């Protein structure tokens, strides 16, 4: 990467002051200066660390642009150049938003979004991103709070105090805009206040909704049941004390390692134990084009054969468990994420139709979930999935789901995986609303956050990462996150189920330190916190 001198950085920063202001109001301020070195105008984005120094080029790799529609889908990267503190985009859209992961002292490491007051940013603008992130978040929180007040939500006085402080800090920052060492710390402090206030706003809204509506009979609190019977009866007893919903494994590669010879024994044992506890069962997944869902004996076969075999498999499983397994993830991550065979987007949509229809034919009462991961769609920006760089344009979960709905495919619920998404609760709540706008019920199908920052040698994922929320991950921080997330979901009228992943930290669990129980099956604070939360909702406390 190219490096620039401190003098050049400060010179460009002084231009950016006007550019950022203009961009927020749809004016291409500074465009003559920016465009001078290029035949086409560039969108120039300046980013500082918390002290006002140019942000390192490495961290800027995760910056992306997003569309200005309500879906906020990330845009495939136009041509760009990255230097310390500067990202230059050429050939981008007429208007776009900007997103970046940023550490905010006193709050956490989050992916944040700037939208220029809803107008976006145009080629030719120079954008001071720290300032724009603070302005965008403050405006967004104020809009949601205003809507909530009209609905009768009452907020603690501390929320108004935080927002008032955020406004004053931004006013002070604007007066120092030519001196990054002065204005950047003020803008970041304002951003911190708005982040805290935003979470308090969506939590107050959720608690207000719960108090008005009361108990939600039939709401499903669940987890995968993969630890049974290996982890014994104590596992099952603690499971049924907390959950009324359980996910069972149907990963095709291991479930049917030889063509025509499925292995039902493990699922049969799990299901028998769940029925003793009167726990609703779900099958996951009937169709998944990740390696775990692709048998070795299917490799190299054409789409038509995949179609035939998937329909056969679905009909066999759903017919066998008709009336006993009530819910299925009929297809998993088909929005270009799980795609080992390399199917086209149209073929993935068609396969969604095949498995949804086959499930209904085998059991008309079964609830069919179309499951999705990476809900903010970040992978679309750089064109990479877990398989690496892709040579085709990728689709976000929202784009895939809209294609499925527009194709007239009949299914019952949208599934959302919310492994710690690197977003605060305000952004998570907004994301849930975007999926709810599709008009289908929502199931949170997979979910996990860590309870430690240490490397996890027992887990499939070893490293919990460097991101944090309110503090380094611990059992108490995990419990706080769970309490807030479950409160927001239980209050949301579109959400009907929440499924955690995994129940314990025993060897083979997925998310690092993600269990409600430790490896020895002793409960963490999260287990007891969620148990109290659910009990309170059921009792109307």
Provide the pLDDT confidence category of residue 491 given band limits of 50, 70 and 90: very high
Instruction: Name residue, tokens 């990479």.
Output: 384
Q: Is the pLDDT of residue 45 over 50?
A: yes
Of residues 395 and 20, the one with the higher pLDDT is: 395
Provide the pLDDT confidence category of residue 129 given band limits of 50, 70 and 90: very high
Q: Sign (positive/negative) of CA torsion 435, 440, 444, 446? A: negative
* Mean pLDDT on 30-52: 72
| CB neighbours of residue 70 within 10 Å | 11
Q: Which residue, 288, 437, 278, 441, is CA-closest to 369?
A: 441
The domain segmentation of the chain, as residue ranges, is: 6-207, 214-539
Residues in a beta bridge with 54: 48
CATH code, 214-539? 3.20.20.80
pLDDT recorded at residue 28: 35
HEC string of 29-70 equals: CCHHHHHCCCCCCEEEEECECCCCCECCCHHHHHCEEECCCC
CA distance 204 to 159: 10
* Mean pLDDT on 213-228: 96
Q: 116 near 132, Cβ under 8 Å?
A: yes
| Backbone phi and psi for residue 262, each to the nearest 5 degrees, phi listed first | -70, 150
Q: Which long-range contacts (CB under 8 A, 24 or more apart) does 157-161 make?
A: 158/200, 159/197, 159/200, 159/201, 159/204
Of residues 464 and 402, the one with the higher pLDDT is: 402
* Mean pLDDT on 150-158: 94
CA distance 14 to 296: 59
SS3 222: strand
Lowest mean pLDDT among 9-13, 87-91, 102-106, 455-459: 9-13
pLDDT recorded at residue 8: 40
Q: Which residues contact residue 132 at a Cβ distance below 8 angstroms, ignoring those fewer than 6 apart?
A: 20, 23, 24, 98, 114, 116, 121
* Mean pLDDT on 36-59: 87
pLDDT recorded at residue 78: 86
Torsion, Cα of 221, 227, 228, 232 (10° steps): -110
Q: Which two tokens stand for residue 388?
A: 């690496």
Q: Which residues contact residue 373 at a Cβ distance below 8 angstroms, ignoring those fewer than 6 apart?
A: 333, 337, 397, 417, 419, 446
Instruction: Give how far the C-alpha of residue 42 lies from the chain's centroid of Cα atoms, to the nearest Å.
Output: 30
Laid out side by side, the sheet with 97-104 consists of 64-66, 97-104, 108-114
CA distance 465 to 512: 9
The length of the chain in residues reads: 541
As a whole-number percent, the residues of the chain with pLDDT over 90 amount to 86
pLDDT tens figures, 502-532: 999 999 999 999 999 999 999 999 999 999 9
- H or E element, residue 13: helix 6-24
CA distance 322 to 503: 26
Q: 193 near 165, Cβ under 8 Å?
A: yes
As a whole-number percent, the residues of the chain with pLDDT over 70 amount to 93
Q: Is the pLDDT of residue 2 over 80?
A: no
pLDDT recorded at residue 337: 84
Torsion, Cα of 339, 342, 344, 345 (10° steps): 10
Q: Is the pLDDT of residue 332 over 90?
A: yes
CA distance 285 to 249: 7
| Backbone phi and psi for residue 430, each to the nearest 5 degrees, phi listed first | -65, -40
pLDDT recorded at residue 420: 76
The answer to whether the peptide bond before residue 345 is cis (omega within 30 degrees of 0) is no
CA distance 130 to 6: 18
Of residues 16 and 500, the one with the higher pLDDT is: 500
Instruction: Name residue, tokens 């950085």.
Output: 9
CA distance 413 to 411: 6
Give the mean pLDDT of the chain.
92
In our burial notation (b when 16+ CB lie closer than 10 A, e otherwise), range 387-417 reads eeebeeebbbbbbbbebbbeeebebbbbbbb
Residues in a beta bridge with 316: none
CA distance 84 to 49: 11
Q: Sign (positive/negative) of CA torsion 249, 254, 258, 259? A: positive
| CB neighbours of residue 304 within 10 Å | 8
Residues in a beta bridge with 372: 416
The answer to whether the peptide bond before residue 229 is cis (omega within 30 degrees of 0) is yes
| Backbone phi and psi for residue 498, each to the nearest 5 degrees, phi listed first | -135, 125
- Counting Cβ atoms within 10 Å, is residue 441 exposed (0-12), middle (13-18) or buried (19+)? middle
pLDDT recorded at residue 415: 98
pLDDT recorded at residue 541: 53
| Backbone phi and psi for residue 362, each to the nearest 5 degrees, phi listed first | -80, -30
pLDDT tens figures, 429-469: 999 999 999 999 999 999 999 999 999 999 999 999 888 99
DSSP for 446-478, please give it. EEE--S-SS--TTSSS----S--BSSS--HHHH
* Mean pLDDT on 345-360: 97
Q: Is the pLDDT of residue 35 over 70?
A: no
What are the angstrom distances between the C-alpha of 527 and each of 49, 274, 418, 514?
37, 19, 18, 11
pLDDT tens figures, 366-397: 999 999 999 999 999 999 988 888 888 899 99
């Amino acid at each position: 990467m190219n490096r620039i001198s401190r003098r050049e950085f400060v010179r460009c920063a002084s231009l950016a002051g006007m550019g950022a202001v203009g961009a927020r109001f749809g004016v291409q301020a500074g465009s003559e200066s920016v465009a001078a070195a290029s035949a086409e105008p560039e969108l120039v984005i300046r980013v500082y660390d918390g002290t006002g120094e140019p942000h390192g080029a490495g961290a800027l790799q995760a910056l992306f642009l997003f569309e200005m529609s309500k879906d906020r889908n990330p845009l495939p990267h136009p041509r760009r150049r990255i230097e310390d503190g500067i990202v230059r985009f050429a050939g981008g859209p007429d208007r776009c938003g900007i997103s970046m992961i940023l550490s905010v002292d006193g709050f956490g490491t989050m992916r944040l979004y700037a939208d220029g007051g809803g107008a976006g940013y145009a080629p030719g603008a120079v954008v001071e991103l720290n300032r724009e992130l603070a302005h965008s978040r403050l405006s967004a929180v104020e809009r949601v709070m205003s809507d909530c007040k009209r609905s009768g939500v009452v907020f603690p006085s501390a929320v108004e105090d935080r927002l008032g402080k955020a406004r004053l800090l931004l006013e002070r920052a604007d007066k120092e805009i030519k001196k990054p060492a002065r204005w950047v710390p003020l803008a970041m402090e304002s951003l911190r206040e708005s982040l805290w206030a935003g979470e308090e706003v969506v939590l107050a809204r959720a608690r207000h909704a719960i108090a008005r509506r009361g108990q939600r009979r039939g709401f499903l609190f669940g987890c995968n049941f993969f630890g049974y019977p290996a982890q014994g009866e104590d596992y099952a007893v603690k499971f049924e004390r907390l959950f009324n919903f359980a996910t069972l494994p149907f990963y095709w590669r291991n479930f049917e390692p030889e063509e025509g010879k499925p292995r039902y024994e493990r699922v049969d044992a799990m299901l028998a134990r769940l029925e003793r506890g009167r726990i609703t069962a779900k099958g996951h997944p009937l169709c998944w084009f990740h390696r775990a869902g692709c048998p070795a004996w299917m490799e190299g076969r054409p789409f038509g054969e995949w179609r035939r075999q998937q329909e056969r498999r679905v009909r066999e499983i759903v017919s066998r468990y008709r009336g006993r397994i009530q819910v299925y993830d009929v297809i998993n991550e088909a929005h270009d994420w799980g795609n080992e065979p390399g199917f086209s987007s149209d073929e993935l949509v068609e396969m969604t139709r095949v498995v949804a229809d086959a499930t209904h034919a085998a059991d008309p009462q079964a609830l069919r979930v179309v499951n999705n991961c990476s809900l903010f769609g970040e992978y679309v920006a750089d064109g990479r999935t877990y398989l690496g760089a892709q040579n085709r344009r990728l689709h976000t979960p929202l784009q895939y789901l809209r294609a499925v709905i527009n194709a007239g495919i009949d299914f019952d619920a949208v599934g959302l995986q919310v492994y710690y998404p690197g977003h605060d609760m305000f952004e998570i709540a907004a994301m849930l609303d975007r999926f709810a706008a599709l008009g289908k019920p929502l199931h949170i199908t997979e979910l996990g956050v860590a309870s430690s920052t240490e490397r996890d040698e027992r887990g499939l994922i070893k490293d919990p990462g460097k991101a944090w929320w309110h503090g380094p991950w611990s059992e108490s921080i995990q419990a706080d996150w769970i309490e807030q997330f479950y409160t927001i979901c239980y209050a949301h009228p579109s959400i009907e189920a929440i499924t955690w992943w995994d129940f314990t930290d025993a060897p083979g669990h997925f998310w690092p330190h993600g269990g409600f129980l430790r490896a020895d099956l002793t409960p963490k604070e999260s287990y007891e916190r969620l148990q109290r939360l659910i009990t309170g909702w059921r009792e109307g406390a």
